[in-house]
Structure 1
Amino acid sequence: MLDSTAMTPAEFDQFADAYRTLHHQNIRFSGESPEFFAEYKVKDAWELLWKQGKSATWILDFGAGIGTSVAPFRKYFPRASLTCLDVSEKSLAVGRARYPDLAEFRAFDGKRIPFPENTFDLIFAAGVFHHIPHGEHLDLLREWRRVLRPGGTALLFEHNPFNPITRHAVNTCPFDDNAHLIYPSELRRRLREAGFEQIGLRYRLFVPGFLRFLRPLERWLSACPLGAQYFVHGVKIAP
């Protein structure tokens, strides 16, 4: 079964120190840096909330690893309280050392998010759920809903299995050895089953780095299922 081959916290720990280097090597064909990929996702989160007429005062970065998204969050959500959550103690230690005053770094047992109900306005995950056994997704998304405030937004970025270049990148990435890509329709269905509403999907990254001047045109391609990545989002309506 797919669910039997997920990475353990110890496996994530072994990649903590070299994560950025490995990531950079794996994506070098894209012509972009890890920082580019981190920032565009957080910017998309900011734009989504802006379009919804919302702001986020309390943010949870779920599966934050070594804190790659901390700097973009501080740029786009400078006044928000940011919590970075991860199962890898080693990754959290690296992130805490890099950004000691910019976020709270908290350990996670993989089951229950260590916060009370109605804590966060935004829960964000960047390329996390393909590392988690698919059979655990629904329970985790129900945990997301529990700790989100009414009106809060869940936002998940994932690699697009419809894109052959993405599949190659995942298949050759050391820390994706046990990853299983998720089809967008599956992730949308799980959000709905977890009790989220107003569910949306957007495809991203159609243009490589050397053609980045064409990226403004990507807004017209967000419904085309060939982007390298995608994100799904939903809202907690009822308490």
Structure 2
Amino acid sequence: MGFDFDLQASHYENMLGPSHKHYMKQKTDLLLRCIREKGLNTKTILDVGCGTGELERNLANRLEVVGVDLAVSMLRVAKDRCRDCEFLRASCNKLPFRDSAFTMVLVVNVLHHLKLSDRQTLFSEVSKTLAPGGHVVVFEHNPKNPFTRIVVRGCQIDRGAVLLNTKEVTSLANASKIDKVDIEYLTFFPAVLSFLDSLERRMQRLPLGGEFMFLGRKEV
């Protein structure tokens, strides 16, 4: 049985530990750099599986993001944390938006929690809500990193999770008419060695980071 996000919302970030905010900031920084350097369209952004809204808080005053999650308790925390953001309850298997509603969709550490049969459904929904030429950004744990595998095995939140590699994410995207644009890696060092973060930028092509970022573009 997987982790009950609704039941554990009030304890969620305590269970992740103090390093969670550091790793979310790493993701935010990489996302913003990618947007800036590649000139991505950020007019309308959807965050699928937004959880407690940590990403939305990091992006506040810079980008407007609509967050969706199925867990009511998680959304309650998100709304308290980021009162100016829009949050909706929705399943990733049935996103309640018109076709081509967003220019960018974010899927942050969601896929490994889904049943294998639901992963393609998520990408199909993402593709449907994504405008032609729009981009999807996926962050996932990197199974090639041995430390990541150890951490995931010992993490209650990741109980029952099945990790995906970059080829699997690319295959899911391609099947939904989303082409791979780029893949970068992050989280090479634990949070206690955050003073080494300046080295991460030089290492982001090495496929050994604790996580990876997949950037895809929907066919026009």
Normalised by the shorter chain, which TM-score bucket? over 0.9
Q: What SS does the corresponding residue of 2:213 show, helix, strand or coil? A: strand
- State how 1:10-89 maps to structure 2 within 5 Å: 11-24=4-17, 33-77=19-63, 80=64, 82-89=65-72
Partner residue, 1:220: 202
Q: CA deviation at 1:111?
A: 1.4
What residue number does 2:135 align with?
153
Query: Counterpart of 2:216 in 1: which secondary structure?
Result: strand
Identity %: 27
Query: How far does residue 75 in structure 1 lie from its aligned partner after superposition?
Result: 4.6
**Distance of 1:237 and 1:52 partners within structure 2:** 17
Task: Work out whether residues 160 and 166 of structure 1, in 8 Å CA contact, stay in contact via their aligned partners in 2.
Answer: yes
CA distance in 2, matches of 1:216, 1:98: 29
Instruction: Please name the residue that 2:145 is paired with.
Output: 163
Residues 206 and 228, structure 1, Cα contact 8 Å, conserved in 2: yes
Question: Structure 2 stretches of 5 or more lacking a match?
Answer: none
State whether structure 2 residue 189 is matched by structure 1 residue 237.
no
In structure 2, C-alpha distance between the alignment counterparts of 1:106 and 1:170, rounded to whole Å? 28
Cα separation, partners in 2 of 1:210 and 1:173, compared to 1, 3 Å = closer
Which residue of the partner structure matches residue 187 of structure 2?
A: 205
Aligned-residue offset at 1:196: 0.7
After TM superposition, the structure 1 = structure 2 runs for residues 72-151 of structure 1, keeping only pairs within 5 Å, are: 72-77=58-63, 80=64, 82-100=65-83, 102-151=84-133
Unaligned runs of 5+ in 1: none
* TM-score normalised according to structure 1 size: 0.85
CA deviation profile, 1:123-160 (whole Å, cap 9, x unmatched): 11221110011222112111111111222110110111
CA distance in 2, matches of 1:160, 1:45: 17
Amino acid at match of 1:52: K
Partners of 1:38 and 1:58 in 2: CA distance? 21
1:47 Cα shift?
1.4
Secondary structure of the equivalent of 1:142? helix
Q: RMSD value over aligned CA atoms?
A: 1.7
Equivalent pair of 1:6/1:133 in contact (CA under 8 Å): no
Distance in 2 between the 1:96 and 1:236 partners? Answer: 30
> Aligned AA for 2:170?
R
Q: 1-side partners of 2:91 and 2:192: how far apart?
A: 41
Structure 1 segments, 4+ long, off by >6 Å, are none
Q: Is the Cα contact below 8 Å between 2:23 and 2:191 reproduced in 1? A: no
Give the conservation status (yes or no) of the 8 Å contact 2:186–2:210: yes
Equivalent residues of 2:187, 2:211 under 8 A apart: yes
- CA spacing shift, 1:99–1:187, aligned 2, 3 Å: same
- 1:18 match: secondary structure: helix
Cα distance in 2, alignment partners of residues 178 and 159 from structure 1? 14
- C-alpha displacement of 1:6: 5.0
Give the TM-score normalised by structure 2: 0.92
Distance 1:215 1:93 in 2: 32
Deviation at 1:98, TM superposition (A): 2.4
Partner AA of 1:178 in structure 2: G
